Amino acid sequence: MTDEEEPRLYVNRWGDTSDPAPGRRGSYRDICSCFDQARPHPQARVGFHAEQQDTSAPGWQHLLELVDEAAADEREEFRPLIELSPEERRQVITLPPSIARLTAVRHLVLYGSNLVRIPPEIGAMTSLEEFSPYTSYRLHWFPYEITRCRKLTRSTVSTRALFGNYKMRPPFPKLQPSPGPVADLDPGSLDPRRWGFATIHSCSVCDGPIEQSGLHQVWISLRVATDVMPLLVNACSSACVTALPDGARDYIATPHKGGRVDQPASDWD
What is the pLDDT, as a whole number, of residue 8? 45
Q: Tens digits of per-residue pLDDT, 3-37?
A: 444 444 434 444 455 444 444 444 688 988 888 88
Reported as a pLDDT band with limits 50, 70 and 90, residue 127 is very high
Reported as a pLDDT band with limits 50, 70 and 90, residue 44 is confident
Query: H-type helices in 132-215, by residue range?
Result: 192-195
**Is the pTM above the cut of 0.85?**
yes
- Host H or E run for residue 239: helix 238-242
Q: Tell me, yes or no, whether 252 lies in a domain.
A: no
Query: In which domain, by residue range, is 172 found?
Result: 58-242
In this structure, are residues 49 and 116 in contact, taking their beta carbons and an 8 Å threshold? yes
* Euclidean distance between CA atoms 235 and 4, whole angstroms: 62
Q: Tell me, yes or no, whether 70 lies in a domain.
A: yes
- Greater model confidence, 5 or 191: 191
Q: Tell me, yes or no, whether 74 lies in a domain.
A: yes
Q: Tell me, yes or no, whether 146 lies in a domain.
A: yes
Q: Tens digits of per-residue pLDDT, 237-257?
A: 999 999 999 999 999 999 999
Q: Tell me, yes or no, whether 250 lies in a domain.
A: no
Q: Tell me, yes or no, whether 11 lies in a domain.
A: no
Q: Tell me, yes or no, whether 195 lies in a domain.
A: yes
Nearest to 188 by CA among 69, 66, 82, 55: 55
Q: Tell me, yes or no, whether 151 lies in a domain.
A: yes
Residue 207 pLDDT > 50: yes
Query: Count of domains in the chain?
Result: 1
